Amino acid sequence: MELIFLGTSAGVPTLSRNVTAILLDLQHPTRPGLWLFDCGEGTQHQLLNTPYHPGKLDKIFITHLHGDHLFGLPGLLCSRSMAGNARPLTLYGPAGLQEFVETTLRLSGSWTDYPLEVVEIRQGVVYQDERCTVTAQPLNHPVECYGYRIEEHDKPGALDAAALIADGIKPGPLFQQLKKGETVTLDDGRIVDGQVYLSAPVPGKKVAIFGDTAPCAEALLLAQSVDVLVHEATLETAMEEKANSRGHSSTRQAALLACDAGVGKLIVTHVSSRYDARGCAALLEECQSVFPECLLAEDFMQVCV
């Protein structure tokens, strides 16, 4: 999987940072998927600076209905339709998302020429298929807000074909059954357990993408043992009280969660517009003093999971 940050500013855009939007490229060999998490104003403009096309999006996950996470959605939906794209699109988000989409399209005389589904979510599993599961947890913010945890299913271990041949089992259709871990009976009466010839399963990747939040108990459920945690760090540690009073986290609090959850890498984003390049460097230093495996997201930064 790969994360592409399209917007990393909190509240309002700056000259170098747009408001929140994150692409997740699943990079699946047989069923590629492109998902968008939040869609702040100007997101479709940001996409123009990447190799990714809005028509390839098949899912958009909205964390909450504050404008800096949502106001780019109507324009993106309409542009996708005007481009003649017929690929279905599903939106996930809190209660009120469907009303927002229907109202903005109706009042602007707009429509979509592709199948559009809006799923208003609650805590728990919001999507699942043969490759991954997406769960949502409520966060601590003035409006209903969620974080999303994306977990790939473990992949089966590789079949040791050389060992099978050494044991006198010829390549053929039976190998496919053995690769699934099944038990088969050979023509000579031998019973072969496929599990014996499989290596250990390959653990699936895990990513947590947070909406805006002050510290809360649900955060640990979302972040536990993920490979990559994307978490807001709106303000510096010295302004922690102010951050929390508005439903946000400080650098220190984001880094402490990463420590407590045992994550592989922390990426902080949603940076207040008060910080210039020097201020952002100081924010990153505060995070890394607590959790060294930390990056501070910049627009168009790409991170492999």
Q: Is 68 one of the annotated active-site residues of the chain?
A: yes
Residue pair 250/237 in contact by the 8 Å Cβ criterion: yes
Greatest CA separation for the chain: 76
Structure token pair of residue 218:
């649900």
Instruction: Return d(Cα 77, Cα 55) in angstroms, integer.
Output: 10
Task: Name the active-site residue from 25, 68, 212, 299.
Answer: 68
If you write DSSP's letter for every residue of 81-145 in order, what string do you get? HHTT----EEEEESTTHHHHHHHHHHHTT---SS-EEEEE--SEEEEE-SSEEEEEEE-BSSS--
Task: Find tokens 């909406």 and name the residue.
Answer: 211
Residue pair 21/46 in contact by the 8 Å Cβ criterion: yes
Non-local (6+) Cβ contacts of 75 within 8 A are: 44
Residues facing residue 135 across a β-bridge: 125, 149
DSSP 279: H
C-alpha closest to that of 20 among 232, 224, 187, 227: 232
C-alpha closest to that of 45 among 54, 37, 34, 35: 54
Residues annotated as catalytic are 68
